[in-house]
Structure 1
């Protein structure tokens, strides 16, 4: 789950992903190296998530992923620097590197604190 909020023209992104942690640095900007992924987390599957990768089977099927392969959660189908698991939890399209069509890759938007679902979001004024 991701929450975006704006305060005084500053976008703040809170990323809550099952088994993941996104840590911002002292300036509030996250680093791709600071994302800890949960795919293939050693969990046994559940009725909703056979492979235990954090993506429900019906969502994996809808995106053309394999509900029996936990490694596909860590893949990046669209090469935007976000894993499939991160994209699904963010609500972005794992098969489109620029979900909102603003010319900025989804992964870059997340790292820069802008909303990858809103083409009008931009970097905060400094």
Structure 2
């Protein structure tokens, strides 16, 4: 609440326009491709109950989750699938992102890929 109350109307409107511009760019991209694939997160899991990983210099969750919140902002469906394990036995995920309102296509793609991704469980890190 404190952070939000410090935002002016002009700042809010500028941020909203940047969000809309990103959404337009991603819709243009999805006119050419069906899905975007990204890591689910850029690092192995860390202890439950912590907002940020220790000793990384981060203060808020969005600093370690750059592959999820942009698609939430642009209202695109996304899903994370398991695709391997770290050498420490922690899960690694791949995220698929579809065009706005293409939820059914995304779920069908995930269903098709899930067995293929988990069949070998490579150790990636």
TM-score by length of 1: 0.26
Question: Which structure features the higher share of strand residues?
Answer: 2
The structure, 1 or 2, with the larger RCO (C-alpha pairs under 8 Å, 6+ apart) is: 2
Question: Which structure features the higher share of helix residues?
Answer: 2
The structure with more radius of gyration: 2
TM-score by length of 2: 0.27
